[in-house]
Structure formats: C-alpha cells, structure tokens
Chains A and B, each alone.
Chain A
Amino acid sequence: MSHRGPDGSGICTGAGHGLAHVRLAIVGLSDGAQPMQTADGRLTVAFNGEIFNYVELRDELKARGAVFRTHSDTEVILHLYREMGEDCLTRLNGDFAFALWDADRQRMLLARDRMGVRPLFYTEHRGVLYFASEVKAFLAIPGFDAALDPTALDQIFTLWAPIPPRTAFRNVFELEPGSLMICDRQGRRSRSWWQLDFPDAGQGPPAVDEAEKAEELLALMEDATRMRLRADVQVGACLSGGLDSAITASLAAEMMPGRLETFSLGFDSAEYDESAYQAVMAEALGTRHHAILCRNSDIAESFPEVVRLTEKPVIRTAPAPMLKLYGLVRQAGIKVVLTGEGADEVFAGYDIFKEAKVRAFCARQPGSRTRPHLFRRLYPYLPGLQKQTAGYLSAAFGVGIGSPDDPLFSHRLRLRNTAGAKLFFSDDLRAQLGGYDAAEDMAAHLPPRFARWHPLHRAQYLESRFLLPGYILSSQGDRMAMGCGVEGRFPFLDHRLVEWAAALPPGLKLRGLEEKHILRKAMAPRLPAAVATRVKQPYRAPDSKALLAAPELVRATLDPGALARDGLFNPTAVGKLVAKCAANASPGFRDDTAVVGVLSTQLWLDTFTRNDRTAARAA
C-alpha cells in the first residue's frame, strides 16, 4: 500500500478498533500526519484524498470557536464532524474516502465522495470488519483467501466493471460513491448521502439564456479549478490533446502564470496518437511540457503491474499507457495533476450519447438509406466502420430499437458487443452463472426516478453511475495515478458543476450531434482553434496488438494447461482467438475485448490467488 502514501505512515489503535494510514503529503506537509485526532482524543480519522474547500470551512469553523492545531484539510473533517455528525459530508467539496472513529458513540464512520474518485473497500472476516483503499491490504489478514467472484467477472465482461458494492473479489465490497457506512455494536449499516439527479423530462426544458449559462459555467469552472490548485506542493496538468484537458490546463495556467508544467502521452500508432494537438496546446499555454511515447511493448510489459493495481480484470489496455504517463509526472517531481476527466459524462461528450440519438432517429424511418450514414460521422476514427455499407450500418446499430422505453436503450449496443467476449467462458463458468444477465442486473439498480428523465439524462446517468467510478476513475484513474504516488484532480467533477450541468436542458449539452455544446460556447474562445473545433477522439490504446507484442507473456499466461486448471475459459477457443488476432492486422471489438479480458483475468488469478501472494502485497 505504500505506493499510495510514500511520504509517511501512522497507526492508531484502541479497544475494538484500529486505524492505519500511509500518507501522500500534499497539504499541511509538516503537520498533517495521520491518523489524526482531536485534542481530546475522542475523534480519530484516517483520510485519503482532498477537501478542496477546506480553507472556507476552516474559516467558518474558527469563527464558531474551533481551534485548529494543523494546516491540514484533514483536521477540517474532525471539527466539522463534531458539529454535524455524518451530515458534515454534505459540506465537503472534495475527493475523499475516510474512516472516522467516534469514541463517544463507539462507532466507526466510513464515507466516500460523491462521484467515486477515491476508493474504499471493506470485508468481514471472522467477525472483524476490515476496510482499506485497496483490496490488497486484506491479503495480510491471516486466513484471508482471495477468490474471484464469477458474477463480477460476468459484469466486467458486459459492463466493463462490477456493479458496486460487488468487486472482483468474492466477499470483498466497495462502499458505493456518495455513500456512508456506520459500524457499531448494533452492526453495520450503509446509506447513500448524495445521488446524481436530473429534472423530470415531463417538466419541459426551462427557458434559459444560453449566454448567461455560459457565463455561469465559466465562473464555476474557474472556481472548481482554483480550489483544485490548492496544495503545498506544485500542481501540474495533463494534456490529452482534447477539449477537456485543454480547458482545465488553460484555466490553471492563467491562475499560476509561468509556473504550470504539463504532461502528455503519445503513441507510435497514428490511429491513437494525439501528439500534434498536445503540442499546439502546450505551446499556446507556454507551459513547461513533458511528453512520453507509449509503444505496444510498453503496454505489454506493464500489463501484469496494471492488473495488480486495478485489482480487477479489465477489457481494455487503456490503463497501461496512463500508468506510463503518471510515471512521467512523478519523475518530474509532481505529485498532483489536473485532468479533464468527467467532462464527457457531465456535458454529454461521449459518442454513445450521439449514437443513441442517431439510433432513435434511424428507427423513425427504418428503410432510410441516408440516415444510417450518420453512424459514419460518429466514428471517423474507426477505419473498419467507415467501410460499412448503409444496410449493415443500419442493421448493426439497430439493436434494441424496437423498445424505446428500454431503460438501457442507449447502452444496449455496447453491452451486447462487450458481452460477445463471454463466448470464451468455459462450460463450467456458464453453468455457475446459470441464466445471470448483468445488463438486467444493472437495470435493477436504477432509481425509480430514472424513468422520468430525458433519454440523454438516462444515458448520462448510466455512464456516470457505472462506467465512471467503476472503470474511468478507478482502473484508468486513481489506481494508475496512485500506483505512481500521484493524485489526479478533476475540476469537471466538482459537485457544484455536476449538479448545475445535470439541471441544464439536454439541448445545451448535446445540440444536434455537437457534443458539449455549452462547454464549447463558454470555453472555446479561450483555446486555439485547432483544439477547440476538433472532432472528439476518445482516449484509446492498442489492445490485443499491444499484448501480442509480448508473446512470452501471452504464451505463459494463456497456457492451455493453466486455463484448464483455473476453469474459467475454454482453452481451445482462447488458443484459436490468439492465433486469429496474431494473424489479423486489425482485430474487431469483440476479439480485442476477449484477448484483454481473458489475459487480465488470468493475470488477476496469478497475482491474487496463487499461494505466494508476496508480489501482490508488495508496494
């Protein structure tokens, strides 16, 4: 666990409880050691993350008589909890996961931030509740046996991530984003303390002045960024080459003129590389820019470490280049970076939102020969799709069109295509799963008010509630960054901005097929035209091609004997899959998904369930 906190460690135990902490020192460098206690010793907290509004909260608390002993944001949690109990969470603007022991009430409070930026896992073993930022901490529990949860594997092979609180580990759970848990003599109980919400579609869009909304957005973004620059160490910024990181970096550059360092990642394959746009942006901002090239071999070589850090199988290699990028950040001596994460969920930037709109549009005239061509416009970066005829585009994207009331309509195509990789599940695994349907399970987790929302808002909720915390912020975010001792900060996920954007009429987010309309209106004039007007290219990385660049890794991990022993996948089918991908210049979505998913699952088993788990526990 020391990768998450290389700057210090502490432990605090008492009757019936204990807290241990490793620290990445960012605020209150000299006096922020944890676990931290109140002066009377009645409250103790171990905290991962940042409370960005700690300055304002500290001033408020001081005005009401609180006496602070440190300069750390951690102490704000203690004082605020003393005043408000667990309701203090609603006052925190931050990315946090913490455990707070209340000696007077003899209870432990676990809490997690609204969007799920910081992780918090728990398990119960022989009558003891254990919790930690990463599951690998539990491997040190005597008698704890890690085992893969087959239902979680099915969810990953359909939804990209387990449905919380489930994790890849059997009997290990995560505290859901925006939730808290109280553990005392009566037992443990969890509840949600914040939920993403949207207006009822039936209300009709409110009359809004677009220019006024753009001004509001700019003010919110400026404040969200300003707060996220608070640190007693230098803060950098990532530049992906896209609009979102350009916005956060440009705001940061204005607020710390001449001092911002930026970081970016390039690929040796033109299909994935965005270096040209990154360079344009870095030059426009005048930052000290650091760039690193990621090759296929880098992805393959780091993949076992990536799986050790994600702690769950993944179906994309995209976390691996992020690990390289965050390694570059750390090498430059930077511990904190701003990124553009969250903008695509909050302002409807992803292709899946447009795709759902076009699918619904095509459904109105099923025989149309022209409407299906819109699908080509959605995916200009996918060469295989550009070659498709209108007839096939229409048929291929027609999934679920007959059921517009289907709550998962926007995601049906992705779910079906991803689940195609379950073809490689063994007969035994299929028998264990019975008729389990991960998509229907996800639908069962939707709130009753979901049905009242506009279709775009439903799609945004699905992305924000499931993929964002389960994969984007986790496998591709926190786990890769913290693996290098780097903290990512995300202005677009400031809860004030999230709530403000959720209340906007859908047309201010997705106007026609222009994504993030209001964001462009508010921010584009401040950016170079080449970046501001660029067609969105989602962050992607080479998948099976990259992994097959390490034939020894693939051969050893996907050895037919090992696959047969573990019993999750069909060894013959996997062998044929690998041979096909090795011979094919551009494998399809399903085959790529399967190679990455099967390989990462086998690596997960190797790392966490074999007898010698020393490597998994190691820093």
Chain B
Amino acid sequence: MTATIRNAVRTFMIENFLFGDAASMPANGESLLDSGLMDSTGVLELVAYLEDQFAITLADTDIVPANLDSVDRIAAFVELRARRAAA
C-alpha cells in the first residue's frame, strides 16, 4: 500500500508543483522543503490533497516536517493514519 500512496503523491506533486516536469521531482527520501519544491502555500495544498484523496484528517500537530517533508514520510504517515481508521 505504501508504494501506491507513494506513487499517488509523486503524481500529485509532479502535476501540481512541477507542472509535469517529472525530471525535477526529488527522490522519495529527499526533503521537499530543501529542494524548494513546496513554498508555504504548497504545504496547505498538499494537506488538502491528502485529506481528499485518502479520506484522512490532519490536525495542526500533524502538519510538521517529520510527517510531510519527503514522499517517503508522507506515504508512511498516510498509511499509518489509514490503518488506524480501519482498525
């Protein structure tokens, strides 16, 4: 499931932040902030996407780089949330 989430997030980012420029997409473990991929508005766009796409809700305390600053972190965070919701 993590791979599916990872692919979906990458596709969203390539379309929404890179406008199709897949070659500029950071590696899955790379920091999205350090790479300059997302500005402050981008984080809010990402949160809205995750909530819509994966039917989860993010509290303010969830919106931290530890959860969202790489594709791998996002995928792990979303999967954990989805499992909790299913349990």
* Binary per-residue interface labels of chain B (54-66) against chain A in the complex, 1 for a CB within 8 Å, 0 otherwise: 0000001101111
| Chain B min CB distance to A435 (Å) | 16
A126 at interface by CB-CB < 8 Å: no
B66 A588 Cβ-Cβ under 8 A: no
B41 A587 Cβ-Cβ under 8 A: yes
A389 B40 Cβ-Cβ under 8 A: no
- Of the candidates B19, B45, B60, the one having the most CB atoms from chain A within 10 angstroms of its own CB is B19
Q: Please measure, in the bound complex, the distance between the C-alpha atom of A396 and the C-alpha atom of B63, giving whole angstroms.
A: 12
A580 at interface by CB-CB < 8 Å: yes
A424 B39 Cβ-Cβ under 8 A: no
Q: Please measure, in the bound complex, the distance between the C-alpha atom of A573 and the C-alpha atom of B21, giving whole angstroms.
A: 7
Name the A residues within 8 Å of B63 (CB-CB). Answer: 388-389, 391-392
B53 at interface by CB-CB < 8 Å: no
A384 B66 Cβ-Cβ under 8 A: no
B43 at interface by CB-CB < 8 Å: yes
Chain B minimum-CB-distance residue to A388: B40
Given contacts A389-B60, A392-B63, A395-B33, contact A424 B42 (CB under 8 A): no
B8 at interface by CB-CB < 8 Å: no
- Which of B19, B20, B69 has a CB less than 8 Å from the CB of A395? B69
- Of the candidates B16, B24, B39, the one having the most CB atoms from chain A within 10 angstroms of its own CB is B39
- Which of A389, A419, A423 has a CB less than 8 Å from the CB of B21? A423
Q: How many residues of B contact A (CB 8 A)?
A: 23
* Binary per-residue interface labels of chain B (22-47) against chain A in the complex, 1 for a CB within 8 Å, 0 otherwise: 00100000000100100111111100
Name the A residues within 8 Å of B69 (CB-CB). Answer: 395
Tally of contacts, chain A with chain B, CB under 8 A: 70
Chain B minimum-CB-distance residue to A594: B19
A385 at interface by CB-CB < 8 Å: yes
B20 A572 Cβ-Cβ under 8 A: yes
| Chain B min CB distance to A513 (Å) | 19
B51 at interface by CB-CB < 8 Å: no
Chain B minimum-CB-distance residue to A392: B43
A389 B61 Cβ-Cβ under 8 A: yes
| Chain B min CB distance to A362 (Å) | 14
Given contacts A385-B40, A588-B40, contact A391 B66 (CB under 8 A): yes
A3 at interface by CB-CB < 8 Å: no
* Binary per-residue interface labels of chain A (588-605) against chain B in the complex, 1 for a CB within 8 Å, 0 otherwise: 111100000000000000
Chain A minimum-CB-distance residue to B18: A423
Name the A residues within 8 Å of B15 (CB-CB). Answer: 576
Q: Please measure, in the bound complex, the distance between the C-alpha atom of A387 and the C-alpha atom of B59, giving whole angstroms.
A: 12
Chain A minimum-CB-distance residue to B23: A427
Given contacts A389-B60, A391-B66, contact A570 B21 (CB under 8 A): yes
- Which of A389, A391, A572 has a CB less than 8 Å from the CB of B19? A572
Name the B residues within 8 Å of A420 (CB-CB). Answer: 36, 39
Q: Please measure, in the bound complex, the distance between the C-alpha atom of A434 and the C-alpha atom of B43, giving whole angstroms.
A: 30
A417 at interface by CB-CB < 8 Å: yes
B16 A580 Cβ-Cβ under 8 A: yes
| Chain A min CB distance to B35 (Å) | 10
B41 A588 Cβ-Cβ under 8 A: yes
Name the B residues within 8 Å of A396 (CB-CB). Answer: 33, 39-40, 43
Name the A residues within 8 Å of B20 (CB-CB). Answer: 572-573, 576
Q: Please measure, in the bound complex, the distance between the C-alpha atom of A388 and the C-alpha atom of B64, giving whole angstroms.
A: 9
| Chain A min CB distance to B62 (Å) | 8
A391 B16 Cβ-Cβ under 8 A: no
Name the A residues within 8 Å of B21 (CB-CB). Answer: 423, 570, 573
A330 at interface by CB-CB < 8 Å: no
A416 at interface by CB-CB < 8 Å: yes
Q: Please measure, in the bound complex, the distance between the C-alpha atom of A574 and the C-alpha atom of B18, giving whole angstroms.
A: 10
Q: Please measure, in the bound complex, the distance between the C-alpha atom of A588 and the C-alpha atom of B36, giving whole angstroms.
A: 13
Q: Which 7 A-B pairs have the closest CB atoms?
A: A588-B41, A391-B64, A573-B19, A576-B19, A389-B63, A395-B65, A395-B33
Having A392-B64, A573-B20, one finds 11 other A-B pairs with CB under 8 Å, namely A387-B44, A388-B40, A388-B63, A389-B61, A392-B40, A396-B33, A396-B40, A423-B18, A574-B19, A588-B39, A588-B42
Interface residues of B (CB under 8 A from A): 15-16, 18-21, 24, 33, 36, 39-45, 60-61, 63-66, 69
Interface residues of A (CB under 8 A from B): 384-385, 387-389, 391-392, 395-396, 398, 416-417, 419-420, 423-424, 570, 572-574, 576-577, 580, 586-591
